Homo-oligomer: A and B are copies of this chain.
Amino acid sequence: LRKQEISVDTLTEGIFKGDKAMLAKAITLLESTQPTHFEKANAVVEKCLSRPVESIRLGITGVPGVGKSSFIETLGTTLTALGKKVAVLAVDPSSSLSKGSILGDKTRMQALSNDPNAFIRPSPSGSSLGGVAQKTRESIMLCEAAGYDVVLVETVGVGQSEIAVHSMVDFFLLLKLSGAGDELQGIKRGIMEMADAIAINKADGSNVEKAKLAVTEFQRALHLYPPKQNGWIPKVMKCSASENTGVREIWDMVEDFARQNKENGFFEKNRKNQNKNWFLQTVDDHLKQFFHQKPAFIKVQNELLKEIEQNKVSPFYAAKLLLDKITKEL
């Protein structure tokens, strides 16, 4: 692989200069499952962390069909027009099966992907959401070191991937459609709870009136949740990504949020808490990797897999045997 020939210093310097190709290569190393790549990627991340950048990290979620791509396209081009550098990342655990269901197709964001001040990267594939999320978190750091001062993290609209993205962003935006029925509300309660704002998208043409009603309805619904610790009252706004209305207003709100939270200290506090969780997750990941590379561990594990195949031992008891053996050696 040619990638391996590029040194940590070359990669890091490239990133510091804002070289997109080097940034992309470093992220590819990060996403690799090869131990040598992993070591190199770690060294790059460590160097990048020494160069802090003032940034806003914005998580964006919503079910398929809500218009996430066109919203990001419109928001992204709005931001680059304001002189900002925008990175777009994605967390989509389902892409491990269906390969790149979100952000996979760059043609969905044509203007943004041709914008010199934008960097778009599809979701890493991975066997677990934890792994996918971890890599995205580290990719955020690399993008920030490359000078991207707004990082948009997109995710699909159901379940744990939202929790993962919420744990790595400053602001969490939920996109909704008007009149989509509220049968989904039950399952989404947790996501509603995490949202710092809800944007009713596709508020254009004959949808405008319905969108206004939806704004009122969601404002009422949000009042039922306990107030946020940082004092922020979640906002509900409407927009049309395709007609570029309301999108700039949403960004202004995000900046208001950041200003307000920097003043009251919650911006910094939230990032510190996120850092602590990041640390704990990294420790768990590395612990696992450490054992899975030990020959003695691999040997016993393979023997037990054979015994399970022959129905000689239950998977549960086999795990106990392996652990007893390994931990006795400690």
A residues with CB within 8 A of B:
42, 45-46, 49, 64-65, 93-94, 96-98, 101-102, 128-130, 138, 141, 156-161, 163, 183-184, 186-191, 193-194, 272, 275-276, 278-280, 282-284, 286-288, 290-291, 301, 304-305, 308-309, 311, 314-320, 322-323, 326-327, 329-330
10 of the cross-chain contacts (CB-CB < 8 Å) are A42-B320, A49-B316, A49-B317, A93-B160, A94-B191, A97-B190, A130-B130, A275-B314, A278-B315, A286-B319
How far in angstroms is the closest Cβ of chain B from A118?
Answer: 23
Beyond A64-B184, A101-B187, A160-B160: 12 further Cβ-contacts under 8 Å?
A: A46-B314, A49-B314, A93-B159, A94-B158, A96-B163, A98-B187, A101-B189, A275-B308, A276-B305, A278-B315, A279-B315, A286-B319
User: Which interface residue of A187, A188, A308 has the most chain B CB atoms within 10 A?
Assistant: A187
How far in angstroms is the closest Cβ of chain B from A119?
Answer: 21
Inter-chain contacts of A163 with B (CB < 8 A): 96-97
Residue of B nearest to A306 (CB): B276
Inter-chain contacts of A305 with B (CB < 8 A): 276, 279
Residue of B nearest to A326 (CB): B287
Contact status B42-A316, CB under 8 Å: yes
Contact status A309-B276, CB under 8 Å: yes
Inter-chain contacts of A97 with B (CB < 8 A): 163, 189-191, 193-194
Contact status B279-A304, CB under 8 Å: yes
